[in-house]
Amino acid sequence: MLRTVRANQEIKSQFSIFDIDGYTKISGEAENCVATLWKDGELSGEEIAVSEIGTSGEYLVSFTPTSAGIWILEIKDPTNRIWKSEIEVRLVDLDSVASDLLIIKKIETGRWRINSVDNTMTFYDEDGETELFKFNLKDASGAASATEVFERIPE
């Protein structure tokens, strides 16, 4: 499964080293693991750290990708087993961008109201009733105003 993260975010993954029986974990082998990292099919120069968690036979590998692309992390343990992880690194989190765009769409297409009693502007959700944002309205001198609006300040 492809994991997705942002650039310059430390990535940590855990793996185990097992004896030939496939059940017994082997401790003390962090220095004997060969870690290789590729970015978009090219060998990467990023630093990779492999350490054991206590003396459990469980190991932690960490690195920080600095640019967008498809990164492949491969760990070869002393028993010649290979552990591999594929990571898609993005410059921005697309889920948060999509969420922000949805809010902008609601503001641009939804109902809004200027209240001249309390000098506020309110933006509503698609239902026209649920308040999304409310702003205090000010004139050029900073006084509350609903008729000569110079600036809006989040409430």
The pTM score is 0.59
The answer to whether residues 63 and 48 touch, using CB atoms and an 8 Å cutoff, is: yes
**Residue 33, pLDDT score:** 93
**Residue 152, pLDDT score:** 93
| Cβ neighbours, 10 Å, residue 39 | 19
Give the span between the Cα atoms of 65 and 7, in whole angstroms: 6
Write the pLDDT tens digit of every residue in 76-95: 999 889 999 999 998 877 77
Give the span between the Cα atoms of 61 and 4, in whole angstroms: 17
Complete domains list, the chain, with CATH:
3-90 (2.60.40.10), 94-154 (no CATH)
Q: Residue for token digits 């962090």?
A: 30
What SS3 state is found at 11? strand
For residue 103, give the DSSP letter.
Answer: H
